[in-house]
Every structure is written in C-alpha cells, then in structure tokens.
Amino acid sequence: MTKKPVGQNEALSLRHSQKGLAPSENEKAAVASFLSKTKLVRQAQKQKGLDQPTGRLVFALDATMSRQPSWDLACSLQSDMFVEAQRHGSLATQLVYFRGVNECKASRWTVQASDMIGWMERFECRAGRTQFGRVLQHIQDETVRQPVQAAVYVGDCLEEDADHLAGLAGEIALRSVPLFLFQEGDDPYARTVFTEIARITGGAYARFDGSAQARLAAYLRSIAAYAASGRNRDMLPADLRKQVRLLSSR
C-alpha cells in the first residue's frame, strides 16, 4: 500500500505527540553522564576549598623566630577547629603569616583541615620584625572579594605604629569583620594596641601563655563554631562573648 504523504499540519501534530514519549536510552545515558560529571566537579571544588561554606575565617599568625612553639600548637589544633565548625555549618579557612624581613603570605581558601596541617607542618619560623599591618591590609582586601565572618590573630609583641594599625582596623570594621586577637605573654604595648583593635572591629582580645594551651584551644574551637554558625555569639566563651558586638550576618 502506498503511504500517503504527510502534510504540514499532520507533521506538526506528529511532533507534538512525540513530546510525551519517554526519553531514549541514549538520552538517559547523556543525563546520567552529566550528573556524574557535575558531582565530580562539586567534589573537586570542595577539596580545593571552592565549595560554598557557611563561614570564612582568616587565621593569621606571627611566624617570627620566637613563635615556633605557638605555631606548632596552632597546627595541632586545626582538626579540632574543623570538627567543631562542622557541628554548626561548614568552614573555609585561609592561613596568613609573616616572618623574616619582608615575607607576608596567604594561602588559598580551604575547607579541609588536612590542607592547613600540611601547609603548617612544612613551615619554619624565621627571625624578623612584626608585620601586623600587612595582615590587616590583607584582611581588608579579602573582604572586598568575598564575605569573611571573622579573623583570628595570634602573636606576642608589636613593633608598628598604633595609629596606622587603628586606621586599618577601622576599614575592616566598615566591612563588619570582627578580629579576635590572642596574645602570648604580656608585652604592654601589644596588649594596648590589640585591645583597641578588638574594640574597633567588634571582636575580642585575650591573653594566654605556654602553660595555658588548653585555653587557646578552647578559644579557637569556639571561634570556628562562631564563624560557621553565621556569627552566633552563644558559641563563644563568656569572656569573649561580652566583648563581641552584635554584627550583621554578612
């Protein structure tokens, strides 16, 4: 029997009717391949610290020669910080340090404690003057690129102009980033400036010494939880909580 030519209306009707057909095996395979590749991309982004965390924390350290014991302590606390943060969200951290004559560097962001530990274990402190101003400038620059929920700085002394540092802290305050400053020892000039910077930025200041490592560990865990939870002040111990201003969740 001779087939009747399909007219324009009939062809259109045929195409419409085909829209309701189940996808072919090739189409199913293509969709499955796309979803698999998307999953791999997301996993790679997470491993590289590119996944979207609920909090970002800049972790800055004075890495001049006298700071090696504190550097080793901070390295040993990284896993605890990430574990605590995961109870309240997710955390990305960035390591910032200065050492030597003119070295001040920052790592990439990461959501993996193993990255932070790996970077810090390969590191040696070097003699030099403090470069806290460069740390503050970096924090300010970073907040322009993306939101940062908090920044931590651990150091012992200070050899820079207080007015200059206060000005940089003021710029950070405009970006609603609280600074948590932890001083080892009791250098009076550093104590005065660190306390003022904490006040300006709405953060907090506290002291610790070599015999109070558990205290520093508790502080760092609480700040990791604070950043990951969207700045929930209830995550902080009482002595820090009473200093911290209520900031926007930016």
Q: How many of the other CB atoms lie within 10 Å of CB of 124?
A: 9
Whether 137 shows a pLDDT value over 80: the answer reads yes
Confidence at residue 23, expressed as pLDDT on a 0 to 100 scale: 57
What SS3 class is residue 224? helix
Q: Count Cβ atoms below 10 Å from residue 184 Cβ, excluding itself.
A: 22
Among 8-12, 42-46, 57-61, 204-208, the range scoring the smallest mean pLDDT is 8-12
**Listing from the earlier edge strand, what are the strands of the sheet with 103-106?**
103-106, 91-99, 55-62, 150-155, 179-184, 204-208
| Confidence check: pLDDT of 52 > 60 | yes
**CB 170 within 8 Å of CB 198:** no
Average pLDDT over residues 183-193: 94
Indicate whether 191 pLDDT > 70: yes
Give the amino acid at 12.
L
Per-residue pLDDT, 49:
44
**Residue 18: pLDDT above 60?**
no
Tell me which of 122 and 81 has the higher pLDDT. 81
Check residue 56 and give its pLDDT.
Answer: 94
Q: Residue 29: is its pLDDT beyond 90?
A: no
Q: What is the pLDDT of the chain when averaged over all its residues? A: 80
Is 52 buried (19+), middle (13-18) or exposed (0-12) by CB count in 10 A?
A: exposed
Q: Domain 53-241's class?
A: alpha beta
What is the reported pLDDT for 168?
Answer: 98
pLDDT range class, residue 173, cuts 50, 70, 90:
very high
Distance separating alpha carbons of residues 248 and 250, to the nearest angstrom:
5
Cβ atoms of 178 and 202 within 8 Å: the answer is yes
For residues 131 and 65, the answer to whether their CB atoms sit within 8 Å is no
| pLDDT above 60 for 104 | yes
Is residue 1 very low, low, confident or very high in pLDDT (cuts 50, 70, 90)? very low
